[in-house]
Amino acid sequence: MAVSALNREERIGLAIALAAHVALGAVLIARPAAAPTIPLPERMTVTLSEDVGLTSTAPSVADPAPDEALELGEAAPEPAPQPTPVPPRPEPKVQPKPEPKVQPKPVVTKPRPAPTVAAKPLPQPTKAATPPKAAPKAGPAPKPSNAPTTAPKGATSTARTPNAAATQPAKAGGSRIGSDFLKGVSGATGKQATTAPPAATVGPAVRSALAGAISRQLKPKWAAPQGVDAELLVTVLSWDLNPDGTLAGSPRVVRQDGITDANRAQAQRHAEQAMRAVRLAAPFNLPPEYYPAWKRVSDFRFDRKLSQ
Amino acid sequence: MNLRLISALALVLAAPAAAQQSLPTPQPTEQVPEEGLSGAVSDDSDWQDLGIAIPAFATDADVPTQTSAGSTAALGMSLARVINDDLKNNGLFKPVGPDALPRPAFGEVQAPAYDTWAGRSAEMLVQGYVRAAAGGQVTVGCYLYDVALKQQLAKAGWTVAPGDWRRAAHKCADMVYSRLSGESPFFDSRIAYIAETGPKDRRMKRLAIMDSDGANHRYLTTGQTTVLTPRYSPDYRSILYLSYFNGSPRIYIYDLESNTQRLLLQSSNAVFAPRWSPDGKWVLYSMAIAGNTDIYKMPAGGGAAVRLTDSPGIDIGGSFSPDGTRIVFESDRGGSQQVYVMNADGSDQRRITFFGGRSATPEWSPRGDQIAFTHIAGNFRIAVMTPEGREMRYLTDSWQDEAPTWAPNGRIIQFFRTTRGSGKAGIWQVDLTGRNERKLATPVDGSDPAWGPLRP
């Protein structure tokens, strides 16, 4: 009762306060909403490609993406007679070449690869994210949409450039949509497939799989020494392998971490045990086609994790 | 709230921007694909004790010896048993002794049949030989092999007097232990303690010594006087101890070579806890004068004593750091027993234990990296801490464990445990990780253990 009496006044106040908060929240949420959406996809791509995928992960994976990108990009432009104006919504549609972001294709001169990133997010959420990396690498040649996905491979970018160069000039004059759409898609994919070397280069997935395979083979042989603070010790080894999986030379200690006064006595033993584990695991069973990737193990960490 | 929300949002917003900026950077730094593979492997299994096969030591000719073990062949068997017991009782290893293994031929000692031993799931192999040497001495060789890697890890040989044959086994065990654990050896050492017999009210306390494995046990005093707190001198030649003769305390030094004892200090005041300095030149002790107990230092050869503390409370039980520059002791000047450190000349006294409860009987590790003490909070428990008084760890959890003493390598601690009710005391040991706790076999009850240094 008392509550209700008080409540009346307060209800209003409360309602206002709530409404204000909601409104404020809405405003706050609404504002960021536009911006945050962009970053999310970018993050994903960053972590994935940045790590190890220096050269090519898997050509097959990259293929599908370019196709879509082309279609999308082109579908939009329809109305405009000019080649590239449309795809890049943010930017002027008048001139194909001048456009910084969208129109790398026409010519080698790409004004600025990086700056475009911010603007792009809107037009193509997912693909826009990728361009930053692709653009710098691919350099002048790649098209805006294609570049992101294809960029990782050297082969793709080169394959496409010719296409782009050839097609674009023609488009500028007349119907760009039809020719580019058909040719670009089919041609690009076809060339990629043919030009990309089978497995000459090793992507991050393969690398981590190889590291995992080595780790699995070492594990049963690796026993850290016991002692006070011995679990703090970390030994990092490097070693070379022959194509048949045997050791070439002996393992070397790259460095040791976690040495304290209490466990100093075990440090040497720790390294010795780690090298013993490598020797015992020695004929490593690893896929021969990736030998270039595992012939040198440069940085393998041996430690102990207390079980719970 | 709002501010926080906004700042949180700002963070969210900033993160992608930062990510965006950082994106391009990694790419340009393309590394050479020749960089090599990296990865990690962790040992997350429980500690696995290392399997060691210790077959009987081989001999080239079975001849009689003057040892208590008998002929060289029998001696070879006994040596392997001693090594097996040493390694078995101290954790880390899971040895298989000579009674369950075939005896290798003399020629195999230096060229082991690895495949045979691998089949017995032994990771390490200890082999050795025994030969009769001139003058009744025996020569013992000891070899450690890695069965999996098929390589020799260590070897050593000793020629010892017939009465010291167990020392050869201890030295072999030491070699194996230090090679496989990285720690300093300690099996070839001796322990002094107080052997207790008789009823509670008329307890007879005698000074006794034994090898680290309990062998070669010997009583040094008759029990006519009560003996307390023995300490081996750093050179093993003598033992410092406290004895009550007709109720008045005396500090004696027992000479182990001549089996005589020398009176160092006699006082009408109560005297406690004599200790050596690491160089054996000084003796620390505590003396109570008119209810005020302080720590004194006097030359081991006798002479004028120097008073190191002068607080009104009870200062007792000094223990030198291994470099001899500092002393850790126990004092109740703050109201309860706590551990303090000071310089060897008595300056810069400060308390280091702030763990609640009381802390007593500090003992500096021979490695200098830890101080062992008795922590009293309800029960008496053995604990260790750094010399700065940090990172206390309990090693035992029983009713009454006290008076820790260090193994020469500073990795194992002995103490005595009193059983609730019966009041029986026994000597126990535990390693510095708190594992591998075990009771030492002594003929009678034991207390006040003192572990001597490694034998020269």
CATH number of the domain to which B351 belongs = 2.120.10.30
A42: in domain: no
C-alpha R_g of chain B: 28
Same domain, B176 and B194: no
B38 contact residues in A (CB cutoff 8 A) = 211, 297-301
- With cut-offs at 50, 70 and 90, classify the pLDDT of residue A5: low
Same domain, A142 and A219: no
A42 contact residues in B (CB cutoff 8 A) = 16, 19-20, 23
Same domain, A149 and A228: no
Give per-residue burial for A73-102: e unless 16+ CB within 10 Å, then b: bbebbeebebbbbbbbeebebeebbebbbb
Contact B41 A222 (CB under 8 A): yes
B183 contact residues in A (CB cutoff 8 A) = 227, 265-266
Q: What pLDDT score does A306 carry? A: 65
Question: Among the listed ranges A182-196, A246-260, B241-255, which one has the minimum average pLDDT value?
Answer: A182-196
Are B49 and B92 in contact by the 8 Å Cβ rule? The answer is yes
Show which of B137, B155, B181 is a domain's final residue: B181
Same domain, B216 and B243: yes
Contact B16 A42 (CB under 8 A): yes
Q: What pLDDT score does B226 carry? A: 86
Distance from CA of A145 to the nearest CA of B (A): 17
Show which of A195, A230, A255 is a domain's final residue: A195
- Above 80 in pLDDT, residue A112? no
- Of all residues in chain B, the one with the smallest CA distance to A31 is B9
A307: in domain: no
Same domain, A94 and A144: yes
Contact A42 B19 (CB under 8 A): yes
Same domain, B211 and B279: yes
Same domain, A141 and A25: no
Number of domains in chain B: 2
Distance from CA of A26 to the nearest CA of B (A): 12
Contact B41 A28 (CB under 8 A): no
Q: Give the domain extent around A294.
A: 204-302
Phi, psi of A44 (to 5 degrees): -55, -50
The CATH number assigned to the domain holding A283 equals 3.30.1150.10
Helix and strand tally (H, E) in chain A?
Answer: 14, 3
Q: What pLDDT score does B8 carry? A: 43
Show which of B181, B201, B225 is a domain's final residue: B181
Contact A228 B26 (CB under 8 A): no
B197: in domain: yes
Distance from CA of A182 to the nearest CA of B (A): 32
Q: What pLDDT score does A179 carry? A: 55
A242: in domain: yes
Residue type, A222: W
B6: in domain: no
Q: Looking at residue B70, what DSSP letter applies?
A: -
Q: What pLDDT score does A100 carry? A: 47
Residue type, B40: A
The CATH number assigned to the domain holding B81 equals 3.40.50.10070
> Distance between CA atoms of B426 and B438, rounded to whole angstroms?
10
Same domain, B176 and B195: no
Same domain, B119 and B250: no
Same domain, A21 and A53: no
Same domain, B400 and B431: yes
Show which of B181, B204, B238 is a domain's final residue: B181
On the 0-12 / 13-18 / 19+ scale of CB atoms within 10 A, B81 is: middle
B30: in domain: no
- Above 80 in pLDDT, residue A70? no
Are A125 and A112 in contact by the 8 Å Cβ rule? The answer is no
B317: in domain: yes
B86: in domain: yes
Same domain, A78 and A187: yes
- pLDDT > 70: what percent of chain A? 41
> Distance between CA atoms of B208 and A290, rounded to whole angstroms?
69
A308: in domain: no
- Above 60 in pLDDT, residue A176? no
Residues contacting A211, CB < 8 A, separation 6+: A300, B37, B38, B39, B40
Query: Which positions of chain B have pLDDT values less than 70?
Result: 1-35, 47
Are B363 and B330 in contact by the 8 Å Cβ rule? The answer is no
A169: in domain: yes
Same domain, B408 and B271: yes
Same domain, A21 and A58: no
Q: For the residues A75-80, what does the mean pLDDT come to?
A: 48
Question: Among the listed ranges A129-138, A209-218, B213-222, B301-310, which one has the minimum average pLDDT value?
Answer: A129-138
- Of all residues in chain B, the one with the smallest CA distance to A51 is B26
Same domain, B295 and B160: no
Same domain, A268 and A184: no
Same domain, A140 and A14: no
Question: Among the listed ranges A90-94, A174-178, B314-318, B432-436, which one has the minimum average pLDDT value?
Answer: A90-94
Q: What pLDDT score does B135 carry? A: 83
Reported as a single tens digit per residue, the pLDDT across B397-432 is 888 998 899 998 888 899 999 988 877 888 998 988
Number of domains in chain A: 3
> Distance between CA atoms of A222 and B144, rounded to whole angstroms?
20
What is the number of CB-based contacts under 8 A between chain A and chain B?
Answer: 163
Q: Give the domain extent around B197.
A: 189-454
Same domain, A76 and A156: yes
Top-ranked range on mean pLDDT: pick from A1-5, A131-135, A223-227, B276-280: B276-280
- Of all residues in chain B, the one with the smallest CA distance to A277 is B149
B10: in domain: no
> Distance between CA atoms of B314 and B295, rounded to whole angstroms?
9
B419: in domain: yes
